Amino acid sequence: MRISRRRTKPVEPKKLFRYNEAIQAPQLLVLGADGKNIGVLNTGEAIRLAREQEMDLVEINPKTDPPVARIMNFGQFAYQQEKAARIQKAHQHVTKTKCVRLSLRIGQHDLEIKRDQTIEFLNSGHKVKVEMPLRGRENQQGSLAKDIVQKFINEVSAAQPIKFDQAIERMGHIISAIIFKG
């Protein structure tokens, strides 16, 4: 038997709206189809009033006292909510942290390529983590490594205004800084 190890995407809970007989509150503040306040009514009476207009009674805000309900077409309302959620999801931008690794023995041309890559990441709206791992005897050259990282960040800031999310600091064997577009 084959075991699947694919990770599934987490399911976002949908905002559920109660309507008609699913409404549990004994009294409701009812709004008409045009949005005007009808007043506080018993739930059964409000449902009857909605049915007379061939519409549904939808609980809009269940947390108030009394809960707010509106007379409307529930199918159309649910479609509008779903459409708004899709549009909002399409327009959201997730900021990622990209990593650029330098070395104590990095050549000038390699440094220029890393600089161009960093500027491209910043223009895309990402944060950039500039890090330099130190191995073996390189650990004794911490001040030289910080100077190289500082020089690299100065070259990037000459081409693109930046701000620091994390200043240059040493954590064990790694010297790092996080920058973003300023």
* Percent of the chain whose pLDDT exceeds 90: 76
Asked whether the beta carbons of 38 and 57 are under 8 A apart, the reply is: no
* Identity of residue 15: K
Read off φ and ψ for residue 20, nearest 5 degrees. Answer: 50, -120
DSSP-assigned beta bridge partners for residue 78: none
Mind listing the domains of the chain with CATH numbers?
A: 20-90 (3.10.20.80), 97-181 (3.30.110.10)
Cis? peptide before 66, omega within 30° of 0: yes
Say how far apart CA 163 and CA 170 lie, in whole Å.
19
Say how far apart CA 79 and CA 87 lie, in whole Å.
12
pLDDT in tens, 138-154: 999 999 999 999 999 99
Residue 1 reports pLDDT greater than 70: no
Tell me the two tokens of residue 130.
Answer: 């500039």
Residue 153 has what pLDDT? 96
Residue 79 reports pLDDT greater than 90: yes
Residue among 24, 63, 28 at smallest CA distance from 49: 28
Residue 159 reports pLDDT greater than 80: yes
pLDDT in tens, 41-60: 999 999 999 999 999 999 99
Say how far apart CA 177 and CA 153 lie, in whole Å.
9
* Identity of residue 66: P
- pTM for the model: 0.56
Q: Which H helix or E strand runs over 37?
A: strand 37-42
